[in-house]
Homo-oligomer: A and B are copies of this chain.
């Protein structure tokens, strides 16, 4: 999925005909902050992913992957991550995995 997690939530919300207030109620968060989440100003609370999956009948695993990849993309974007830097990071992640074992 090529969109931010906030945009994804907004898509889910609107295609299912919910207002911010309604969905915020279901997720037990403030509707004003849900607006910020949709607009990328704040992050969605990880601990509420299962609730979100329930509300929209989504696979929790798939949703967690959506979330994790979005967070990683955000990180890459923020550091202005080049192809080369990403390659180095990949190797280093691999090194960390090897370390643990």
Interface residues of A (CB under 8 A from B): 1-4, 65, 68-77, 79, 81, 85-86, 88-93, 95-97, 99
Q: How far is the CB of A25 from chain B (nearest CB, A)?
A: 29
Tell me the interface secondary structure of chain A in the complex: helix
Q: How far is the CB of A53 from chain B (nearest CB, A)?
A: 18
Does A2 contact B91, Cβ atoms closer than 8 Å?
yes
Q: How far is the CB of A89 from chain B (nearest CB, A)?
A: 4
Number of identical monomers bound together in the oligomeric complex: 2
CA distance A71 to B93 in the complex (A): 10
CA distance A73 to B75 in the complex (A): 11
Does B93 contact A73, Cβ atoms closer than 8 Å?
yes
By a CB distance below 8 angstroms, the chain B residues around A88 are: 1, 65, 69, 73
Q: How far is the CB of A4 from chain B (nearest CB, A)?
A: 7
